[in-house]
Structure 1
């Protein structure tokens, strides 16, 4: 460290006391590279060298300024020269700024850690919370949530369709398709099929009223399953409601009724996006269902679903097992008109 160029060879007079009980002496002060040289005012012989970095001022803001070489009692220097005082303080400030500051570095590191944790909490934690809640929810809770969603659906679509024979056909259809526990037919407003938590599926009356074959309703259900591939219905619900709902499910075991009602409305109004043809075709093959009837139900011209028609895994030959027996299919088609 060297003194500032504007203070090179700066000298001033001062009053020096070499010890607490010593006589005060008038001395010559010279500002060096990193020291203050105290010399005899007659012979100019150096009497002491004080480190500028270690010097302390005992009366900040007062005149004359009183300095000591350290915190220990002993020497004392009295300076009344404004330029020398300013030079000492400026050089000390430069030395201090270049000195390592472990505490400051620690503060910076703590700040960076806090920012990192904040970013993790903001971008990772919400998704992790939803994933965890959807993964550990017991089956009974999934079924309960699915039933609550169904209750909200019925407020908008009417009471689900029932008949003894039709209910039997729905049970048979659920057993025929992998991943389904129960299927409910809603009489109005719903188009296609939707999956709810707990293995429950709801289908619109349009899937059974017009088609000639049960492969159509099976196709809607298979498509709904594939559109949710990798994301179970409960996970999709929690993602839509947000991490606060997931946290509530984890801590209280419940979800807000208003959130369930809002989700049911948007689920009713927005059909799931149809998967790509190659994904659907694999699903139809695995389920043992022909894709052609479903394709023509989507587009009677066949133009927009040509892939599902031409690559039907069972084209030209019957599927291993019928989706429903003829009597079951007739009973299902009549389920909303019974009674």
Structure 2
């Protein structure tokens, strides 16, 4: 039951002024359908006031004086305490049930703000990342890779250089990724991760891995796994994800990325295990490169104590093109000893 329902039969006397320039007259007051009914002594309605619009002209005073609107075009004086309390309760009850424009605006504004924040948090970073990666030229990527490699060498030792061995590294890249590959393999004295793919088309290889391998196919597997570990992502993407939105925006607008950002990224990469390739993706990559899985698995097991489970090797026992000549392999194995 609503407040209006409780007072539907309540009546009282009052003094009603139809207009500011007219005399007051005795009337009977009762409740209608969300209205205050003003009637004469014969119960003939003289006026209907909308209860939600009724205004009290003298709050907290008795007798109470009401008006139907802000202009106070009419006035009604009521002395009956019960009727006054009833009118106040009904007005408050009806006011609560009305739509609140201010609250509606508040919720609309809050919704817009929330949507904007969601857009900024969930959509903008991804869109900005995609746009930046799409426009960074290859020359800039090579420059970023060179800066990262310089930071890597402070931890791993200088890149090992030998003309014959570097040619063998090029042969390895071609055998794994195909002729014309932009990827460049460099060897450092000590890299705990074995092999890491870096921006600028760099794959950094551990000299110890070369020494531990009995077959260049095993090393080719590590090179392949480091690249596949990127998934379908750009090799520059991990750098920007760690650096954040401001750095990504800076690279997009100025074409530059702070060296200290690249240094922090390098340190973070070298302080954690190598990213792991998805086994199914890696298995398909081995098949596409026409490389058997087993030599890679054996070498990975020897280094970490865990043999990667790549499922059935479709090339097991099948002939495959050699990775490189024996002389090239010996040169590559000894690249850091020259």
**TM-score calculated relative to the size of structure 2:** 0.83
Tell me the equivalent position of 1:143: 142
- The superposition leaves residues 139-193 of structure 1 with CA deviations (integer Å, 9 ceiling, x where unpaired) of 2222122111111101111111112222222233333332552121111244411
Of residues 134-143 and 6-15 in structure 1, the stretch that sits farther from structure 2 once superposed is 6-15
The CA distance in 2 between the partners of 1:117 and 1:328, in whole Å, is 58
Choose from 284, 291, 298 the match for 2:300.
298
Instruction: Describe how 1:1-339 pairs up with structure 2 within 5 A.
Output: 4-40=4-40, 43-46=41-44, 48-53=46-51, 54-71=53-70, 74-101=73-100, 104-178=103-177, 179-275=181-277, 277-299=279-301, 305=307, 311=313, 313=315, 315-317=317-319, 319-320=320-321, 322-338=322-338
Say if 1:194 and 1:272, in contact at 8 Å, map to a contact too.
yes
The answer to whether the Cα contact below 8 Å between 1:208 and 1:217 also exists between their aligned partners in 2 is yes
- Aligned partners of 2:63 and 2:79 also within 8 Å: yes
Q: Give the Å deviation of 1:14.
A: 2.7
Question: C-alpha root-mean-square deviation of aligned residues, in Å?
Answer: 3.2
Q: Give the Cα–Cα distance (whole angstroms) in 2 for the partners of residues 312 and 30 of structure 1.
A: 93
Alpha-carbon deviation of 1:6?
A: 4.7
Instruction: Tell whether the 8 Å contact from 1:281 to 1:312 is kept in structure 2 after alignment.
Output: no
Task: State the SS of the aligned residue for 2:16.
Answer: strand
Distance (whole Å) between structure 2 residues aligned to residue 83 and residue 334 of structure 1: 105
Q: Secondary structure of the residue that 2:143 maps to in structure 1? A: helix
Partners in 2 of 1:16 and 1:312 — Cα distance? 100
1:101, distance to aligned residue in structure 2 (A): 4.3
How many equivalent pairs are there? 333
Measured after TM superposition, the shift of residue 295 of structure 1 is 2.8
Which residues of structure 2 form unaligned runs of 5+? none
Deviation at 1:268, TM superposition (A): 2.0
With the length of structure 1 as denominator, give the TM-score of the two structures.
0.83
